[in-house]
Each structure stands twice: as C-alpha cells, then as structure tokens.
DNA sequence: CGGATAATAGCACGACCGTTCGTTCTTTTT
DNA sequence: AAAAAGAACGAACGGTCGTGCTATTATCCG
C-alpha cells in the first residue's frame, strides 16, 4: 500500500459515475439524467449504479454539488491569487468567461437554475443555496474593490453583482444560440463600459 | 351564425389545447409537455388530443409559436404606439419587464432557449429563429433611437441589444430565485445607468 | 333529413422510467 | 480459515411515455 488513504474502490466508482453524470447533465440538464442510460454510459448495471445513490434525486443533488465545487475551484480559486480589489474582480470575470467557453454546450449550474426556479423541493433549495453562495462571494469581492477605492465609494455591491451576473447570463445565452466568439466579444465590451460606469 | 368564419370546432379545441399546453410549458418547459397529462388537463383522451398534432414535437413547435406570438403582441405591439427613438425603446423595456412580472413562474421562450441551445433539431432551429427575430426587432428600435439622436451616434445596435437582453435575463433569473420585486428594482437601476452610458 | 366528413374515444404496442429484490463475487476483518 | 461487509449483477415490478389502429360520435353541407 502506497497512500495513506485506500481509495475504498466504491468511492472511486462513485466519482466515475459523477464524472459521466456531470458531462451528461451539462448538455441536457439535471432533469435529463436517467439511471438506465447513465449506467450504460458508465458501463455498469442500473442497480449497481443505483446502489451508490439512494435515489435519482440524490444523484442529481450530488451532481449539482460536484458542479458547484468545480465552478468554485475553476473560477473563484484562481482569482484569489490576484490582488484584491478591481484586479481580482476582473480576474473573476475572466475566469468565469473561460468557464463559459469550456461549457458552451451548457453549464449545469445555470441550467439547473432554469429547471428548478419554479418548482419546490430539495433540488430547488440546493440551487438557491448554491446561487446565493456564489452571489455572496461576488459581493464580497466587490466590497473589497470599493474599500480599496477602485470603485465608486457609494457602490452598491448587490446592484453591481446583479449587473455582472446579468452580463454572464448574456454571454451564456448568446454563446449557445449565436456562437461563443461574438458573444464573448460583446461581453468584454460591456464589462469595460460597466467598470467605467462604476468608477468615481 | 354571426362571424364570417365558422370556427370549425376543431380549431377551437386546438387553441384550447394550446392554452393549457402553454401554461404547462411556462412552469416546466417544453420538454415537460406530455401527451397523457396534457390530455387529462384539457379533459379529453390522449388519442383525441394527439390527433390535432401529428407528433409531440409538432405540439411543442406549436406552443413555441404561440408563445412567440403572445410575446410580440404583449411587448412589441404596445410600444409601437410610442414615438420612435429612446421613448419607444424605454417602452419596450417597460412592457418586457411587465411580461416578466406576469411570467414569474417561467417564460416559455427563455426556458426553451435553455432547453435547446445545445441539441439540434427542429426545436433548436425554431428557437434560434425566434430569438434572432426578436433581437432584430430590438436592433431596429435601437437604430431608430440612434437616428433620432437619442443615443450616441456611434451606437452599435448589436452591442446595445446584447446588453439590454442581458439585463432582462438577469431580471428573469433573479426573479425566479430571489423574488421579483428586488430583481425588478435592480433591473430598472441598471437600465438607467445603461441609457446614460449610451447617450453622447 | 341524410350522407359525407371531421373530431374524439378506446385500446394496444413497445420502449423506457425509477425502484426493489435476491444473488454472486470480491475484499476486508476477525 | 471463518465470518462479515462491500460492490455489482440480472430480473422483475408497476408506471408512464409517444404513437399507431379502429371504432364511434358529433358536426357540417346539400
């Protein structure tokens, strides 16, 4: 035995399943996940796969959590090594756009927001919590930029966070319908206008 | 007989079905439409309903077209009686927001954009055509505002249309997750900033 | 009023759904 | 070496799905 933690084999399978499920949910949403076709995708039996999650809903929750962790690791984490304030805020937007490029075929988190914003249940609650958490991180970075004097002192963090998020929604939307490159270009132009508009 | 066109009865049923289907698709999306539950909803048999549309996909296309017509009638049409230029553009945004308020539980057109942006097929094509058409109308109104001198002469209609659309996506998104009123307030504030930013 | 035609119902099909169950094979622990 | 636990399997369940086919009923036109 080399590592201190034996991978426990079942855990490894669970992660393999989540990998496939994540890719599948990127394209068709969490609602498109079906035990049977996912099992065929992974290469195991329905029941064998099912045993790793007590229910379809638990599987969906696990995929959502995986997506949230990957998003944070790919977007927020790299930006934390950039000096706080406007530079970090720009870094977040840049990483977020890059995330959008890699997820042109669909982002689990955004799709889930659309899938569950009307209904209620565990999925809805999880989506709201995830989106709220990310919005909080955004507002924190904005508040730091205001404190550093990089943004107008009277900056309303919630308002700016909303506008940033809206532009990223626009990027995702236009990228899906009209192609990523044009959408990306317009998003960047819009951000330059936005930063200018929020500087004293 | 009062009207010149006898409603032909079948046509009336078809519209009744589309009414129910539209309401159902608002909440769960076009993908959630199922012949059986929709028939139970309308109060007729599966096969009786099915006969009005050759396939489920045709039903979905019909619902999408219905949604597009209603959107145009409720958002664009009222704004056409407002003087062209920035006033009309503001009117479009106001009507669009009102549409958003009435469709808090979900908008068929936006949901459809999310459902079919990755896949391909007739639904995808119809969604792209619908979104493209609306974007064209937006750009036309923007170009008029620029011609009237209400916006910066160097206004890029495509760019501004993108930013307007992004804000409306933000309204829809936040309304679904965090409540309409706060989202509406932030959207209006963002639009005031946007108009200012695009005036000479 | 009667016959053509449109509209709806009834029924059955194959496919897939999520879920449960009992069994087998492998791994770990005693 | 015996016993317990973990992991995956195959088969089957009751349901719902979309979609055909065949009657039956309602509506319209001459």
Give the distance, in angstroms, between residue A54 CA and nucleotide D8 C1'.
Answer: 15
Which helix (H) or strand (E) segment holds residue A14: the answer is: helix A10-28
**Per-residue confidence at B94, pLDDT binned at 50, 70, 90?**
very high
* Distance (Å, whole) CA B142 – CA B86: 8
- Return the closest-CA partner of residue A66 out of A36, A27, A107, A34: A107
Residues B74, B99: contact at Cβ < 8 Å?
A: yes
Rounded CA separation B102/B70 (Å): 12
**What are the backbone dihedrals phi and psi of residue A43, each rounded to the nearest 5 degrees, phi first?**
95, 35
Residue whose CA lies closest to nucleotide D11 C1': A47
Q: Which residue of B has its CA nearest to A104?
A: B118
Mean pLDDT of B163-170: 98
Contacting A with CB below 8 Å, chain B residues are 27-29, 31, 105-106, 110-111, 113-115, 117-119, 127-128, 131-132, 158-159, 162-163, 165-167, 169-171, 173-174, 176-178, 183, 186-187, 189-190, 193, 196-197
CATH fold of the domain at B61-198: Tetracycline Repressor; domain 2 (1.10.357)
pLDDT at position A12: 87
Q: Is the pLDDT of residue B22 over 90?
A: yes
**Beta carbons within 10 angstroms of residue B1's beta carbon:** 5
Residues on chain A touching B191 (C-beta within 8 angstroms): none
User: Confidence band (pLDDT; 50, 70, 90) for B7?
Assistant: low
pLDDT more than 90, % of chain B: 86
Q: What is the mean pLDDT of chain B?
A: 92
Model pLDDT, residue A155? 79
- On whether the CB atoms of residues B125 and B104 are closer than 8 A, the answer is no
Name the DSSP letter for residue A7. Answer: -
Percent of the residues in chain B that have a pLDDT greater than 70, as a whole number: 95
| DSSP conformational letter for B149 | T
Residue B17: φ, ψ to 5° = -60, -45
* pLDDT value at residue A46: 93
Domains in chain A: boundaries: 64-198
Triad B147, B152, B156: Cα angle to 5°: 80
Q: Are B44 and B38 in contact (CB under 8 A)?
A: no
Q: How many CB atoms lie within 10 A of CB A54?
A: 9
Confidence tier at B175 by pLDDT (50, 70, 90): very high
Neighbouring C-beta atoms of residue B103, cutoff 10 Å: 21
Give me the pLDDT at residue B60, please: 95
pLDDT of residue B1 exceeding 60, the answer is no
Q: Which residues in chain B are contacts of A96 at CB distance < 8 A? A: none
- Residue A3 pLDDT: 38
Write the secondary structure of A94-144 as one string of H (helix), E (strand) and C (coil).
Answer: HHHHHHHHHCCCCCHHHHHHHHHCCCCCHHHHHHHHHHHHHHHHHHHHHHH
| pLDDT of B5 higher than 50 | no
pLDDT number for residue B6: 46
Angle of the A122-147 helix axis to the A108-116 helix axis, nearest 10: 120
Query: Distance between CA atoms of A133 and A121, rounded to whole angstroms?
Result: 18
Ordered per-residue pLDDT tens for chain A, 200 residues: 333 344 577 788 999 999 999 999 999 999 999 999 999 999 999 999 999 999 999 999 999 999 999 999 999 999 999 999 999 999 999 999 999 999 988 899 999 999 998 888 999 999 999 999 999 999 999 999 999 999 986 779 999 999 999 999 999 999 999 999 999 999 999 999 999 999 87
> What token pair was written down for B126?
């119809």
The alpha carbon dihedral of A102, A104, A106, A110 has a sign of: positive
User: How high is the pLDDT of residue A2?
Assistant: 35
Do residues B60 and B30 touch, judged by C-beta distance below 8 A?
yes
Checking if the pLDDT of B200 tops 80, the result is: no
- The distance from CA B159 to its chain's CA centroid, rounded to whole angstroms, is 20
Please give, chain by chain, protein residues whose CB is below 7 Å from any atom of strand C. A 6, 9, 33-37, 46-47, 50, 54-57; B 8-11, 13, 39, 44-49, 51-52
| pLDDT score recorded for residue B71 | 98
Q: Provide the CATH number for the domain formed by A64-198 in this structure.
A: 1.10.357.10
């Amino acid at each position: 035995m080399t590592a201190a933690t034996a991978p426990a084999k079942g855990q490894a399978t669970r992660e393999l399943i989540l990998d496939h499920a994540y890719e599948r949910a990127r394209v068709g949403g969490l609602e498109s996940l079906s035990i049977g076709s996912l099992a065929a995708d992974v290469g195991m039996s329905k029941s064998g796969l099912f045993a790793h999650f007590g229910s379809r809903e638990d599987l969906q929750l696990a995929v959502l959590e995986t997506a949230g962790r990957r998003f944070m690791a790919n977007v927020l984490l790299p930006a934390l090594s950039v000096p706080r304030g406007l530079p970090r805020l720009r870094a977040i937007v840049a990483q977020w756009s890059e995330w959008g490029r890699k997820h042109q075929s669909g982002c689990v988190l955004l799709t889930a927001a659309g899938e569950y914003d009307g209904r209620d249940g565990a999925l809805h609650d999880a989506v709201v919590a995830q989106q709220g958490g990310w919005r909080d991180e955004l507002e924190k970075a904005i508040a730091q930029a205001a404190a550093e004097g990089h943004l107008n002192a009277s900056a309303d963090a919630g308002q700016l966070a909303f506008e940033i998020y809206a532009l990223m929604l626009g990027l995702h939307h236009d990228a899906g319908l009209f192609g990523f490159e044009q959408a990306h270009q317009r998003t960047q132009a819009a951000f330059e206008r936005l930063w200018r508009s929020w500087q004293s």
